[in-house]
Amino acid sequence: MITIYWHCLKPVASEKDEKFISSALGQLAKHLRKEPIELAISIKRLLDEPKLARKVTEILDKLSDQSYTFTNCASEITGVLPIGEASTARLFIYCSPSNYVAVAAHREEPVAKWGGTCWPLASLYEYNNKNGVFHETLHLLGAEDCYEKKDPSQKKPDCNLDSCIMEYSPPVNISENWPFLCDKNVNLLRQVKKNACPKLTLE
C-alpha cells in the first residue's frame, strides 16, 4: 500500500485549501485504483498523525535557510516517512509561491514554475491547480514528464496521448476524465515498486 500524506502550509491552510487538496488527491486515487493501473493507494492528512507531522515540519522549516536545498530536504524526509516493504509513503505539500518550500524548489529548478517534486517529496505552489496536484503526485509514483526540458512546449515523441497530464501545460479540464496518461506512464505506474526511487524530477 502506498500512502500519500498531504499537508497545506501557511498562509495556505484554510479549510477551503484543505478541501481542494484532499478532494483532488481522492479523485486521482480513484482513477489509480481502477484498471489499467490498479494501484493500492491511500490518501491521508499529515496533521492526523501529529508525531509524524511534527518531524516533517521540522525538516521543512530548514528550507528557510538558503543553503539547505529542496533535494536535501527530500532526502531527509525519507528518514521520517514510513518507507518499507509492506507499506510506503510519500509527501505532498501545498503552499503559496512565496513559501520557502516553493522558493527552494524554484531556485533549484527554474523550469518548476508551479510545482516541484523530488522523491518522496512533492510540492505545488499554484493555487487551485488540479492538473498540478495530479502531475506532481504522479511523479511521486514514478511517472515521467512528457515534455522536452529544453523546450517545454515540445512534447516527447514517446507520449502517445494527444493531451497527457505529464505535459508542461495540459488542457485545464484534462484531469476530469480518464484517460489523461499516455501508455508509457501507465506502464511505469503499473510497475511502481514499493521502494522505487525514481530519478529526480524537479519540475
| Whether the Cβ atoms of residue 121 and residue 147 lie closer than 8 Å to each other | no
Measured from the CB of residue 176, what is the shortest distance to Zn ion in angstroms? 17
Inter-residue contact 76 to 59 (CB < 8 Å): yes
Q: Does 91 bind Zn ion (CB under 5 A)?
A: no
| Pick from 110, 105, 83, 108: nearest CA to 94 | 105
CB of 119 to Zn ion, least distance (A): 12
Nearer to Zn ion, 29 or 138 (CB): 138
Q: Is 28 in the site for Zn ion (CB under 5 A)?
A: no
- Distance CA(164)–CA(4), nearest Å, equals 22
Which residue number, 51 or 199, has a Cβ lying nearer to Zn ion? 199
Determine, following the binding rule CB under 5 A, whether residue 182 of this chain makes contact with Zn ion. yes
Contacts of Zn ion in 126-165 (CB under 5 A): 145-146, 159, 164
In this structure, the chain runs to a length of 203
Nearest-approach distance from CB 84 to Zn ion, in angstroms: 26
Question: Coil, strand or helix: which one is 109?
Answer: coil
3-state secondary structure of 23: helix
Q: Which of 166, 174, 189, 192 binds Zn ion (CB under 5 A)?
A: 166
Classify residue 62 as exposed, middle or buried by CB count within 10 Å of its CB (0-12, 13-18, 19+): middle
Q: How far is the CB of 161 from Zn ion (least distance, A)?
A: 5
Q: How many residues bind Zn ion (CB under 5 A)?
A: 7
Which CB, 5 or 170, lies closer to Zn ion?
170
User: Whole-angstrom Cα distance, residue 21 to residue 154?
Assistant: 29
Please compute, for residue 161, the number of CA atoms within 13 A of its CA located in the half-sphere on the CB side: 20
Closest contact distance (angstroms) between CB of 118 and Zn ion is: 11
| Residue ranges that bind Zn ion, judged by CB under 5 A | 145-146, 159, 164, 166, 182, 203
